[in-house]
Amino acid sequence: MTEDIPQAPSPAREQADRFLRAREVQSVALLEDYVEMIGDLMAEMGEARVADIAERMGVAQPTATKAVARLKREGLAISRPYRGVFLTEAGGTLAEKVRARHRTVVALLVAVGVPEETAELDAEGIEHHVSDSTLRAFERYLSQR
């Protein structure tokens, strides 16, 4: 047998794990975006209609329909055919979390000198990769200054 007990993984393995994590994050990123969007629409108009979701996400209507189907599968939304889409409790909770994280990321970017517009643009992609640990660090940084 080899020298060592379960211990330091190889550098290659560590690096691979980072990429695996990034890919995992990516797979939930779209879900998060849709959930947040549906939350917005529910707040603004009482319900989210597929056409509005599609318009705001910048996708074709059938793409939005398919995304909603996935949200339903994951227990984040409910809907009946030809009717509006609504978030479940889990969906609502996620939407709130995503919204808060988005605000924090934008605020941090602005705090370190990124122009508002750019911050808003970049945050859309960045936010999904901000872990809870990093998010807390951002909050600490923003509060003590």
Partner DNA sequence: CACGAATTATAGCCTAAGCTATATCTTGAC
Partner DNA sequence: GTCAAGATATAGCTTAGGCTATAATTCGTG
Interface residues toward DNA, by CB under 7 A = 23, 27, 30-31, 49-52, 58-63, 65-68, 70, 79, 81-84
Q: How far is the CB of 70 from DNA (least distance, A)?
A: 5
Q: What is the dihedral of CA 80, 82, 85, 88, to 10 degrees?
A: 0
Among a copy of itself, DNA, none, residue 66 binds (CB under 5-8 Å by kind): DNA
Q: How far is the CB of 136 from a copy of itself (least distance, A)?
A: 9
Q: How far is the CB of 72 from a copy of itself (least distance, A)?
A: 21
Residues 6+ apart with CB under 8 A from 91: 35, 38, 39, 71, 75, 76, 77
Separation of CA 70 from chain center: 15
134 binds a copy of itself (CB under 8 A): yes
Closer Cβ to DNA, 83 or 136, answer by number? 83
Q: How far is the CB of 89 from a copy of itself (least distance, A)?
A: 25
Closer Cβ to DNA, 2 or 144, answer by number? 2
Residue of 28, 43, 45, 55 that binds a copy of itself (CB under 8 A): 55
For the beta carbon of residue 56, count every other beta carbon within 10 angstroms.
16
Buried b (16+ CB within 10 A) or exposed e, 85-123: bbbbeebbebbeebbebbebbbebbbeeebeeeebeeeb
